[in-house]
Amino acid sequence: MAQEKKIPYKIYLEESEMPKAWYNVRADMKNKPAPLLNPGTHQPMTAEELGGVFCDELVQQELDNENAYIEIPQEIRDFYKMYRPAPLVRAYCLEEKLGTPAKIYYKFEGNNTSGSHKLNSAIAQAYYAKKQGLKGVTTETGAGQWGTALSMACSYLDLDCKVYMVKVSYEQKPFRREVMRVYGASVTPSPSMETEIGRKINAEHPGTTGSLGCAISEAVEVSVKNPGYRYVLGSVLNQVLLHQSIIGLETKAALDKYDIKPDIIIGCAGGGSNLGGLISPFMGEKLRGEADYRIIAVEPASCPSFTRGVYAYDFADTGMVCPLAKMYTLGSDFIPSANHAGGLRYHGMSPILSQLYDDGLMEAVSVEQTKVFEAAEQFARVEGILPAPESSHAIRVAIDEALKCKETGEEKTIVFGLTGTGYFDMVAYEKFHDGKMDDYIPTDEELAEYRAKLPKID
Amino acid sequence: MAQEKKIPYKIYLEESEMPKAWYNVRADMKNKPAPLLNPGTHQPMTAEELGGVFCDELVQQELDNENAYIEIPQEIRDFYKMYRPAPLVRAYCLEEKLGTPAKIYYKFEGNNTSGSHKLNSAIAQAYYAKKQGLKGVTTETGAGQWGTALSMACSYLDLDCKVYMVKVSYEQKPFRREVMRVYGASVTPSPSMETEIGRKINAEHPGTTGSLGCAISEAVEVSVKNPGYRYVLGSVLNQVLLHQSIIGLETKAALDKYDIKPDIIIGCAGGGSNLGGLISPFMGEKLRGEADYRIIAVEPASCPSFTRGVYAYDFADTGMVCPLAKMYTLGSDFIPSANHAGGLRYHGMSPILSQLYDDGLMEAVSVEQTKVFEAAEQFARVEGILPAPESSHAIRVAIDEALKCKETGEEKTIVFGLTGTGYFDMVAYEKFHDGKMDDYIPTDEELAEYRAKLPKID
């Protein structure tokens, strides 16, 4: 056995050790993720069709199931250097507090103004749009992390950025909106009266506070109707998981530097951008038979696409203008009960992760939000970082696994993704403290009703 | 000339390179800062007298003008490892945007949940209180950074923490209050009806929204009346500048690692905790004749203690229960016009910095807040970090100095302190965007009126 090096509280890679290529886990998957389908013809989307929505280089990345490594352009690597490498932190204080023999590490992605890992893909998508000579991009945002990240990237590259923000978030989170304004983005509450689909939804559901699916439809419509604009998305897509592989690659490099081999890897999962990025190089080893890891996706009990959804083709948006994706889904009309992890409220899941889950290569658990906030507060008090509600789902399960180790005496190594900070989520923490947070979980009947509305695809 | 090493975007020290002792600049000062005086007798405060307010080890540090280095206890160094070393960042993107030949570096202290450098002293003060077997500590907070930092430190050490928060901030910044609650602190709007001085102030000024000086009086009263409690303060005091020297020591170590010698060092100054910490080792070299630097304090034009105050003994608080301090002051009754840099709204200035300024060892400039927010936004868009309004005062002057270099063609090296992030200051950014921010500057007549009320000390 190699002599154990003393592990510092935080492992930072040197700039020279930062990854120079993204890793594309699809290259190592025996069962490739199902292709996106044209919503009209139900035929696989061609590069040409996708090119009307996404910019060209991103279409290539979306369709590329073969190349394991894709070089990160120098300009993006320079931008990454502004806020990366993200530290891999040894949670010494949490371990001590829990009295566990487990060794806990977390990859902290919150050290940038967007407050999350979203910036990793935002800069890539904005870069390719700029390179193609486009004027700007459109997108949707729920909780606001993705919108903020995209605003930052566009501001840096001098691209126009139009954000459709779910109306309820727009009103409840004026500060998020204001951060986007600092970065020069235009932010419109959705559904708006600016788009056809927005006017339609407003007419059909007067007073609606909006949803992610609806904001996606508006953003896509605007990109298609405005020459020089393309639509960009912060999760679910293959290209996003590719860019987010930087999380896992850095994590693996940091672990390798100290000869640490994780037993369990845990990440929260909404659309899959964080989890897919974090696990990708580890999953690659697993797919190639070089190593084995327990990989756990954590989702809210109020929006349980992995644990209670079905694996089927579904619409990505409410307006049904987007391609169909085969994924674990609750149905595109599903709107979760009020929960405070805005980034985990999507009805579907990344097609890549859906295929890996279906193949039994990873596990999934769902947790109730009061339990999540208990873990968040416990973590904040000993580790100093106030976590985002989304990230706290992973903390909950990491703590649970560490407590199991305490019972069994096993010295397992647990790695989880701490995707971001909760500075803009204090209303949620307040509700938690005041005992006003509920744990509504959809009934089987409710889920069956949404499931019945799934499109029929042969 | 040594071969120039390629400077990375961010210089992180290794854990082993982190300072093991704080540096006490007083040891190298020929003219020592004036002692605190008993407000009743006008005699220098003795250790015994100070011991009624501060815990014993901090009293020693407060009075120690001789020892240049004071060891940082291992427990505090372990806590520092949770969020330090703070990066020294090369502002490549800002330099490019400005088109300046100047080389700009900033020491970023915002990578912790308190959002600022305040945690450096909070953990030290809480540690010594715990070591002395105390039950808890009391303090005041304005903008909330200090209160949050102290809450975090106390939560970590399992100490009770009572925070008196200036009422207007308590009401305008509910999220800051909520973060303190996450860390288990009790937060009371000041002036409250819980203290004698609070009741008195409320009776004399019905409907008052409070001030820092008033919250200090309440916190001191509560500490004195409750056995097992002591008062702690986040700025002004010698002990605070001592703890904050960690900022400057790390900055200097990072610069030395790459053979970089700064020409200009810039910091924002409210009570002096950041500036005093940042400059201390550089000022030490200057005092010992080993090097020379231009050192610039930046303060708000609305609260110009250095640039328009007088160097005199004054009360530290409204209730006049605290010792008298000799400092640059505007008068303890001075309340600045609404400006959004809550951390720079104090009427006085650190006695150490006051003496250094009076001795001509540093400069000071004042800047108007709309100019500050222009700089903040420019910085955010290219460097990615959304700065606190306080920190943005230093950004303003760093940019101005870099633009002077552009005119002259000089390749000066500029280092400034980026004390924290502005996530809880979005109301201020909103006012700036909406053109609703004013730049009121006190008139000479107003300042003379406050000055006339200064205590007469022989």
Q: What is the pLDDT of residues B360-369, one digit of tens each?
A: 999 999 999 9
pLDDT mean over B250-256: 98
Report ipTM for this prediction.
0.92
- A158 at B interface, C-beta within 8 A: no
CA distance A142 to chain B (A): 18
Contacts of B182 in chain A (CB under 8 A): 377, 380-381, 386, 429, 433
Show the tokens assigned to B117: 């450098």
Interface mutation target, options B5, B6, B112, B113, chain A, most CBs of A under 10 Å: B113
Q: Are B118 and B273 in contact (CB under 8 A)?
A: yes
- B379 at A interface, C-beta within 8 A: no
pLDDT mean over A246-256: 98
User: Mind listing the pLDDT tens digit for each residue in A405-424?
Assistant: 999 999 999 999 999 999 99
Contacts of B175 in chain A (CB under 8 A): 423, 426-427
Q: Please give the residue of chain A at the shortest CA–CA distance from B375.
A: A182
pLDDT mean over A113-117: 93
Percent of chain B with pLDDT strictly greater than 90: 87
Closest to A199 (Cα-Cα) out of A185, A184, A218, A183: A218
User: Mind listing the pLDDT tens digit for each residue in A60-86?
Assistant: 999 999 999 999 999 999 999 999 999
Comparing CB atoms, the residue among B111, B182, B377 nearest residue A182 is B377
pLDDT mean over A378-384: 94
Q: Is the pLDDT of residue A404 over 80?
A: yes
- Cβ burial of A314 (10 Å; 0-12, 13-18, 19+) is buried
Check residue A318 and give its pLDDT: 79
- A83 at B interface, C-beta within 8 A: yes
User: Mind listing the pLDDT tens digit for each residue in B31-84?
Assistant: 999 999 999 999 999 999 999 889 999 999 999 999 999 999 999 999 999 999
Kindly report the number of other CB atoms within 10 A of residue B456's CB atom: 7
Q: Please give the residue of chain B at the shortest CA–CA distance from A7.
A: B15
Check residue B1 and give its pLDDT: 40
Check residue B80 and give its pLDDT: 96
Q: Is the pLDDT of residue B2 over 60?
A: no
Q: Residue B41: which residues within 8 A CB-CB, separation 6 or more? A: none
φ/ψ of residue A31, rounded to 5: -90, 110
- B5 at A interface, C-beta within 8 A: no
CA distance A45 to chain B (A): 36
Q: Is the pLDDT of residue B3 over 70?
A: no
Whole-model pTM?
0.95
Mean residue pLDDT across chain B: 94
Check residue A2 and give its pLDDT: 44
Comparing CB atoms, the residue among A181, A386, A421 nearest residue B182 is A386
Q: Is the pLDDT of residue A194 over 50?
A: yes
Q: Is the pLDDT of residue A142 over 90?
A: no
Mean residue pLDDT across chain A: 94
User: Mind listing the pLDDT tens digit for each residue in B324-340?
Assistant: 999 999 998 888 877 77
- B155 at A interface, C-beta within 8 A: yes
Q: Is the pLDDT of residue A343 over 80?
A: yes
CA distance A9 to chain B (A): 6
- A381 at B interface, C-beta within 8 A: yes
Q: Is the pLDDT of residue A231 over 90?
A: yes
- A258 at B interface, C-beta within 8 A: no
Alpha-carbon distance A59 to B316, whole Å?
A: 63
Comparing CB atoms, the residue among A10, A83, A426 nearest residue B384 is A83
Q: Residue B220: which residues within 8 A CB-CB, separation 6 or more? A: B53, B138, B231, B317, B319, B321, B322
Q: Please give the residue of chain B at the shortest CA–CA distance from A375.
A: B182
Q: Is the pLDDT of residue B152 over 60?
A: yes
* Interface contact A386-B430, CB threshold 8 A: no
User: Mind listing the pLDDT tens digit for each residue in B340-396?
Assistant: 777 888 899 999 999 999 999 999 999 999 999 999 999 999 999 999 999 999 999
Interface mutation target, options B94, B182, B392, B431, chain A, most CBs of A under 10 Å: B182
More confident of the two residues A23 and A318: A23
Interface mutation target, options A155, A178, A382, chain B, most CBs of B under 10 Å: A178
* Interface contact B111-A112, CB threshold 8 A: no
Q: Are A131 and A254 in contact (CB under 8 A)?
A: no
Confidence at A350, pLDDT banded by 50, 70, 90: very high
- A70 at B interface, C-beta within 8 A: no
Check residue A251 and give its pLDDT: 98
* Interface contact B9-A82, CB threshold 8 A: yes
User: Mind listing the pLDDT tens digit for each residue in B255-276?
Assistant: 999 999 999 999 999 999 999 9
* Interface contact B426-A174, CB threshold 8 A: yes
Name the DSSP letter for residue A34.
P
Q: Please give the residue of chain A at the shortest CA–CA distance from B432.
A: A182
Check residue B5 and give its pLDDT: 59
**Residue found by looking up tokens 């040409």 in the block:** A48
Please list the residues that pair with A266 across neighbouring strands. Answer: A296, A416
Check residue A304 and give its pLDDT: 96
Please list the residues that pair with B162 across neighbouring strands. Answer: B138, B186
Q: Residue B86: which residues within 8 A CB-CB, separation 6 or more? A: B107, B108, B109, B111, B247, B250
